[in-house]
Chain A
Amino acid sequence: MAPYDLPVVLGQLGANSVYLLLGIAFGYILEASGFGDSRKLAGQFFFRDLAVLQVMFTAIITCMVLVFWATALGWLDYEALWVNPTYLGPDIVGGLLMGVGFIIGGFCPGTSLVSVATLKLDGIFFAGGVLLGILVFGETVPSFTRFYTSSFYGRLTLQDWLGLETGTVVVLAVCMALFMFWGGGRIRALVVGKERP
């Protein structure tokens, strides 16, 4: 039953090969989706281009359905999956910082690496900034550890938060995603229509 400890199952070389293949596939998909272009990414925030919403949210709900179907069929042990623990205050501040960086720079960390792969200068500078930011964080985090580890809620999932069963949450998430795709398309049509004389 998944998840499998790949180094144990395939050996370290086999596991590294799997990681490499997954990374190549992920990078390929991101580049094929146009996410190596900062203009396409930034366009999300101005409702000019909803590719980020459509691709990422589609991936999320597809993965959600597959994960919970695999769990229901006994192929996957959901409790063994890592879920990032929730630190609400730091998560909000970190999300805000990342959002500001995203719209200013036009990349998130992953897509900046995609851009670096195709030698785009803005991606290279953004990735350099990410590495510098990581270094600065590592050197300064002892000074704000109290905040960094505050408002801890543990392994908190939507099912836990809403008090609903898993199937209900999945249905709601899928419906919400499809509604957002439809609504986003309508908003995009309005925005693009207004921009054209």
Chain B
Amino acid sequence: MKLNAQILAGSVLVLAALGLKIYGQPKVADQWTHVAPKFEPLLENREVQIDPGELHDLMFDTSIKLLMLDVRDESCYNIFHLQDAILVTLEELPQLQWHTFPANTVVVTMSNDERDATEAWKRLKLLQVPNAYILEGGINRWLDIFGHDEHHEFCAPDPTQLGNEVLRHKFLAALGHRQLAAHPEMHHKQERTYTKKVKLANQGRKGGGCG
């Protein structure tokens, strides 16, 4: 009787494990469906899209650890990126060991516009990253505001191209962060007003162990 119970229990576990393998784990889209009621309003109400002016101020804020994630393709990144911005793909986001970052880490995702940065932000919320934001308008808007050495009429916003993740601004050479627009001087702080949106949230995860 005992052996039959053990065989039955073992069989149930094996079948459950095989069923799990077949059913699979939720994909990103499925995971987002479960948390969308909590986070979609933040996107719709524009509560997590921060003005370039606010990001600029965060660059000089020593009370926080700023982590800028550039989710564009490598060629755009090489042409121009913000100083200290890290090029990362959406698939690499889970590998960044988020729990090792200090509680005052503010993560800002950026792309040429907002579409890809928003997708990256969603992935970060699924990874329980608490202080994640999106650069409003992306790199295109950053360059609209802070300009660059080769700024000319072709860099003006084109209504037919807005939001399609194309780098509107033209550069003669791929200089990366080696230009003033990548890290504007601090005096720009007085030139721009915006609604401050970054608020540090607690990590929430607690430790555990067993004995």
Contacts and interface: CB of A to CB of B under 8 A. Distances in A.
Interface string B184-211: 0000000000000000000011111111
A171 B206 contact: no
Nearest to A178: B10
Interface residues of A, number: 38
B26 A82 contact: no
Contacts of B102: none
B172 interface: no
B13 interface: yes
A84 B34 CA distance: 25
A139 interface: no
A165 B22 CA distance: 11
Given A154-B100, A167-B25, A171-B21, A74 B34 contact: yes
Contacts of B22: 167
Contact of A5 (B9, B20, B204): B204
Contacts of A78: 25
Interface residues of B, number: 35
A174 B13 contact: yes
Nearest to A154: B97
Interface string B111-145: 00000000000000011100000000000000000
A77 B34 contact: yes
Nearest to A155: B99
Contacts of B208: 82, 84
B99 A71 contact: no
A110 B127 contact: no
A72 B209 contact: no
A109 B211 contact: yes
Given A65-B20, A84-B209, A110-B211, A77 B14 contact: no
A181 B208 CA distance: 28
B207 A82 contact: yes
Interface string A142-170: 00000000001011000000000111101
Contacts of A69: 16, 19-20, 23
Nearest to A130: B211
B165 to A, nearest CB: 27
B35 A72 contact: no
Interface of A: 1, 5, 58, 61-62, 65, 68-69, 71-72, 74, 77-80, 82, 84-85, 108-111, 113, 152, 154-155, 165-168, 170-171, 173-175, 177-178, 181
Given A71-B26, A167-B23, A171-B21, 14 more contacts: A1-B34, A1-B35, A65-B13, A69-B16, A69-B23, A72-B20, A72-B26, A77-B31, A77-B35, A77-B128, A108-B211, A166-B25, A174-B13, A178-B14
15 contacts: A1-B34, A65-B20, A72-B20, A72-B24, A74-B33, A113-B211, A152-B100, A154-B99, A167-B22, A170-B21, A171-B14, A171-B21, A174-B14, A174-B17, A181-B6
